[in-house]
Amino acid sequence: MEGIGYKILGAVLTTILAFVVGMFYGGFSRKITARIQNRVGPPVWQNFLDVLKLLFKKTSVRYGFMHHIAPLWMISMSITTLMFVPVLNDGLFFTNLNFSGDIIFLLYIMVMGSLGMALGAGSTGNPNSAIGVSRGLTQMVGFEIPWVMALVALMIQYKTTSVTGLMEVQSQSGTWLMFSSPFAFIAALLAMPGMFRYSPFDIVGAPSELASGPISEFGGKYLSTMMTSGSIFAFVKLTLYVDIFMGGASNLIVLVLKTFTLYMYPVLWGTVSARFRTEQSVRYFWGWPTFFGFIALIYAAF
């Protein structure tokens, strides 16, 4: 009985942690972008104010069932994903629900949030949303391939299909997978900016081109739910990368440092680059990242 109580408490704590850390990451990235552009920039807690304000807005738009469900779908998928990613190596609270085979499960569940967004955006009937969704799915076909290849390579190489299994491999051998299987890491790292949708891969929600794409008809509470979900999901993705390639983290400070370092890579790349077109983005992902994915597979098999 006590075990279940701890699990539930751990789940709640993890969700709150993911929300707060994800929100602050968003704020820091806005601040850093501003400093690079020689501006002062908003305070780092600006994203909290935005979410709060959007929650207080009234909503009088009705587009049917899927429009209401989409933000809830997204946030529940983010939290579900969070539940299967071990946040800390071994703690009482933050280990969550792992089982053998959860990498395969994660591969599926990580795209479910985008699917909900696609369905919701489709039901609004806005042409910008439809274009945004089609671009998003195309881009997903791009970056999922090197990412899946990297993970499959790791699964073959270490004969485990669970995240905790990979973490154990790292703690036993003492080196991070980043160094012991470098090609998989390079492939996954090159695929990563596509997941975060900063420039040059912000073709989905391009503000001036598509009027923010899929979310163009979502305002108020819907948008605030989506922002919350987005920040939780950013934390999840970063934690997953840290778990798999950088040996996980034994306490929260190490975790925050590692994930923040990793997070800076798409953000900084984003500040210095302009937006790709859809086919340029897909061509990028099917170029060097997929090449390194192949090498990783070969490296793993022999």
Alpha carbon of residue 260 to chain centroid: 13
Q: 38 vs 172, which CB is nearer to another protein? A: 38
Which phi and psi (to 5°) does residue 111 adopt?
A: -95, -5
Q: By CB under 8 A, tell whether 57 contacts another protein.
A: yes
Interface of this chain with another protein, residues 123 to 142, rule: CB under 8 A: 128
Residue 29 amino acid letter: S
From 50-58, 112-120, 271-279, 283-291, give the range in contact with another protein by CB under 8 A.
Answer: 50-58
| Chosen residue from 8, 9, 16, 61 binding another protein by CB under 8 A | 61
Binding flag, residue 207, another protein (CB under 8 A): yes
Interacting span for another protein (CB under 8 A) from 48-56, 109-117, 137-145, 249-257: 48-56
Q: Check residue 91 for interaction with another protein (CB under 8 A).
A: no
Cβ at position 238, least distance to another protein in Å: 24
Binding segment toward another protein, per CB under 8 A, in 56-64, 68-76, 172-180, 236-244: 56-64
CB of 75: closest distance to another protein in angstroms? Answer: 18
By CB under 8 A, name the one of 1, 2, 3, 38 that touches another protein.
38
Q: Which of 1, 4, 40, 253 lies at the binding interface for another protein (CB under 8 A)?
A: 40
CB of 273 to another protein, least distance (A): 18
User: Can you tell me which of 49, 92, 141, 257 binds another protein, judged by CB under 8 A?
Assistant: 49
Q: Which of residues 217-256 bind another protein (CB under 8 A)?
A: 217-220, 223
Size (the chain), residues:
302
Closest CA to 234 of 96, 70, 113: 113
Give the binding range for another protein (CB under 8 A) out of 43-51, 98-106, 253-261, 265-273: 43-51
Q: Which of 101, 207 has the CB closer to another protein?
A: 207
Positions touching another protein (CB under 8 A) are 30, 34, 37-43, 46, 49-50, 52-54, 56-61, 128, 207-208, 210-212, 215-220, 223
